[in-house]
Amino acid sequence: MTGTKTLVASARRHALGDLPRRTALRLPDKMAIADGDVQLSFGEFDACIERTTAALVDAGFVKGDRLALLSRNCWQFAVLNFAAARAGVILVPINFMLGAEEIAYILDFSGAGGFVVEESLVPTAEQALAAATGATVTQRVIIRAADAPVPQGWTDLTQWLDYRGASVDVPVADDDPVRMMFTSGTESRPKGVLLSSRSLMWQYVSCAIDGSMSADDVELHTLPMYHCAQLDCFLGTDVYLGASSILLPSPDPATVLRTIAERKVTKFFAPPTVWIALLRHPDFQTTDLSSLRKGYYGASAMPVEILKEICERLPQVQLWNFYGQTEMSPVATILGPDEQLPAPGSAGRPALNVEVRIVDDENVPVPAGSVGEIVHRSPHATLGYYNDPDKTAEAFTGGWFHSGDLGYFDEQGRLYVVDRKKDMIKTGGENVASREVEEAIYGHPGVAEVSVFGISHPRWVEAVAAVVVPKDGVQLSADDIVEHARTRLAGYKAPKYVVLADSLPKNPSGKILKRRLRDTHADLAAGDQG
């Protein structure tokens, strides 16, 4: 009977590593990936994945081993994503902006047996390896530019990509972990989020249906693929459907605009900060963006004034807001095109395969209009945090995944995210949502970007502070911002402190780093008793 179960399981298998093969069988000659001068059809892409899978197994990797990957966007990243999954190896993408000590922590914590690194990042990787105290890395592999020398102690990834050994068939079940994504480290240390094929692929279905994605899409990928938004909402779903993907190493506005025009891009995802950068770029008005039909945003809330501007300046583009987090693979709710302007600022409705509730501190659901914690129940959800049963149990209290976000449903069933629990400002006994203050300040015509956060205050415990980036050529003062905010907000919500800056600190996925702003401006209220 056991033998029969194994045969049935093999015939029913539907794991992440299977997707490129199935798409290649349907669309062998269609363009899958374009990266600079490299262009791969789905047939070529799958063949490369198959060779790399066999090379991983020949190198000694077995199901459940961890393979760390430190690289900017490139076609090799996409190959490794699916090859590792096909081999049952857990891929550990690493933020390429991290320092050596931070990378060393991830190598140690994940127990990675292999480390694949983009050539330009090898010096940082070697520092990380030297700093790692418990890492078991035995395979060091470099993604190198053509004709560049291979550093001593490293293997050229080309040996895996061009491997000529026999193909392998590793049985990978739906809920075997295939990915370990590290959170952005808003706490003292980032957590390792385990995702399975079941998590990812039900999420792909939600994205495809609720995000109106199709095989006809030509998508431009510019946000880092170490982040699950770009990798799994978009690249993975494109491969699943058979859409074409164009890769860029970064969201440089001039390059993004030029590529949309030259490659007739129809679909593009970016966080609000990147959309703002495109709107403000001098090439925006003169670039032919007529091919663009679908636009997506997420990672942080889209300011309502910016949303209106996108709709006015790109009237042919339908917009979707994707809300979620790494632990949800990552999508949880989606706001579609028909509700962008009627419900600006909303995170939308639960995605196809997700249930969402708002609960109080006792995990009791609250009525529409009441603020509470956002919790989810879905196959999208993580398997848990690697080697952290206590945090896993806490996150899944009551059988729902607890997001750590505060929000409410309106009477029409649309979700509004008020704030992260940790970002709620408590000043003089009153709660102030940083996002509400940001929306008010964005209403000033001279403001390009703003971030609002709480700082320690000797009288009020916390005070509302804002860092504001003026639009080019606009002269603003702190008083201008405070006076404007007071016309839209209760007095206690208006910022007590305003700092004007040239830019805001962001991570590579475009999320504003409020923790850094809090640290930088921690002493704004020092000595102030008012």
Instruction: Give the pLDDT of residue 436.
Output: 84
Which of 238, 227, 319, 225 has its CA nearest to residue 272? Answer: 319
* DSSP-based three-state secondary structure for 408: strand
Which of 334, 327, 317 has its CA nearest to residue 400? Answer: 327
With vertex at residue 45, the alpha carbon angle to CA 11 and CA 261, rounded to the nearest 5 degrees, is: 130
Task: Please list the ranges in the chain whose pLDDT falls under 50.
Answer: 186-187
Residue 249: both structure tokens together: 């190493």
Cα–Cα distance measured from residue 60 to residue 113, given in angstroms and rounded to the nearest whole number: 10
pTM of the model: 0.85
Q: Tell me the pLDDT tens digit for each residue of 69-83.
A: 999 999 999 999 999
Domains in the chain, ordered, with CATH? 40-172 (3.40.50.980), 198-421 (3.40.50.12780), 426-520 (3.30.300.30)
**Helix/strand/coil (H, E, C) string of 401-417?**
EEEEEEEEECCCCCEEE
Q: Tell me the pLDDT tens digit for each residue of 18-50.
A: 999 999 999 999 999 999 999 999 999 999 999
Cα–Cα distance measured from residue 78 to residue 16, given in angstroms and rounded to the nearest whole number: 12
Cα 261 from chain centroid (whole Å): 25
Instruction: Give the pLDDT of residue 358.
Output: 98
